[in-house]
Amino acid sequence: MRGLLITIEGIEGSGKTTQAIRLESYLKSIGYQVLRTFEPGATQLGKKLRGILLDVNTDNSSSLHPITELLLFSADRTQHIYEIIAPELEQGKIVICDRFIDSTTAYQGGGRKLDLNQILEIHKIATLGVIPFRTYLLDLPPEIGLQRVLEQRNKLDRLESENIEFHKNIRAQFLKLAELNPERFLVIDSNNTEDYVFEVIKNDVTRVLNEYYSRKK
Ligand code: T5A
């Protein structure tokens, strides 16, 4: 595929959406064709899956097995890639995605404690071969991220409502992924101002894109 996929990852309230919007506008301003999207819920099917996955009432009506959760997030991803991400990459665009495979590894692996090898096998099937070119991991303590979410909207969804240990395990799994894939990840201390975080992303993305496109010439 001619385009590149850039993903933004992190725990709840780490500032992913804020930074994805800024990154989209920056890349457009320097001449790139860009599409910004998110998981879960970017397609029609995905919207329905998102409703099930994030609704606090889901576990009251019938408890969701962790494997069901894993498969639903992965189904959302396959449909998202098939309908949106792959066609945009084929056109040569830069696709910025707010959460992608690493969220599944971190939440369903680190949080739900599912077998990491099984998750990797599911990724191989679900991603249709699409992998991120660069991943920005916005890192901060979960207490601060959850506080930001509460200040923004005053109520938490099904996953946000899990206990603090769950969120700490997710953060630890994200950091482990970054350690295992240093060529793809950049970890950014996001217990900082929005401007600071964006400056780090901006400097990095400018460098990696220049390097990538000068190699292609
Ligand atoms: N999930 C998802 C899985 O379990 N498995 C998966 O495979 C996938 C894909 C998605 C949920 O699904 C889970 C993870 C999640 O629990 P969502 O609604 O999409 O749920 O939630 P998030 O992606 O976490 O979105 P949030 O809105 O909660 O957080 P963001 O996008 O990280 O943060 P953002 O930018 O919206 O900012 C939150 C608030 O903080 C402020 C913003 O202004 C805003 O008010 N803020 C800052 N404040 C201070 N300093 C900064 N640097 C700030 N940056 C932003």
Smallest CA-to-CA distance from 19 within 213, 190, 208 is with: 190
Q: Which helix (H) or strand (E) holds 187?
A: strand 185-189
Contacts of residue 189, defined as CB under 8 A and 6 or more positions apart, other chains included, come to 139, 140
CATH code for 4-216? 3.40.50.300
Half-sphere exposure of 178 (CA within 13 A, CB side): 20
**Cα separation, 133 vs 122, whole angstroms:** 19
For residue 74, pLDDT beyond 70: yes
| pLDDT the model gives residue 61 | 60
Share the mean pLDDT of the chain: 95
Mean pLDDT of 155-164: 91
Angle at 36 between CA 35 and CA 39, to 5 degrees: 130
- pTM score, whole prediction: 0.97
Q: What are the Cα distances from residue 107, in Å, to 3, 85, 116, 172, 208? A: 28, 22, 11, 10, 28
**Ligand 1 neighbourhood includes 18 CB (under 6 angstroms):** yes
Whole-number Å distance, alpha carbon 148 to ligand 1 midpoint, is 9
Strands, E, within 39-177: which ranges?
94-98, 134-139
Q: Within a 10 A sphere around the Cβ of 60, how many other Cβ atoms?
A: 9
**Average pLDDT rounded to a whole number, residues 132-152:** 96
Q: What is the mean pLDDT of residues 19-48?
A: 98
The pick from 39, 70, 99 for probing ligand 1's pocket by mutation, whose C-beta has the most ligand atoms within 8 angstroms, reads 99
Ligand 1 atom closest to Cα of residue 159: 16
- 135 CB under 6 A from ligand 1? no
> What residues does each domain of the chain span?
4-216
Confidence (pLDDT) at 1: 73
> Ligand 1, atom 33: nearest CA belongs to which residue?
15
Q: Is 107 strand, coil or helix? A: helix
* The pLDDT of residue 60: 64
Ligand 1 centroid distance, CA of 15 (Å): 6
Per-residue pLDDT of 162-214, as tens digits, reads 999 999 999 999 999 999 999 999 999 999 999 999 999 999 999 999 999 99
Q: CA–CA separation, 52 vs 142, rounded Å?
A: 24
Task: Give the pLDDT band of residue 154 (cuts 50, 70, 90).
Answer: confident
Cβ(199) to ligand 1 under 6 A?
A: no
Q: 198 in ligand 1 pocket by Cβ < 6 Å? A: no
Residue with CA nearest ligand 1 atom 26: 13
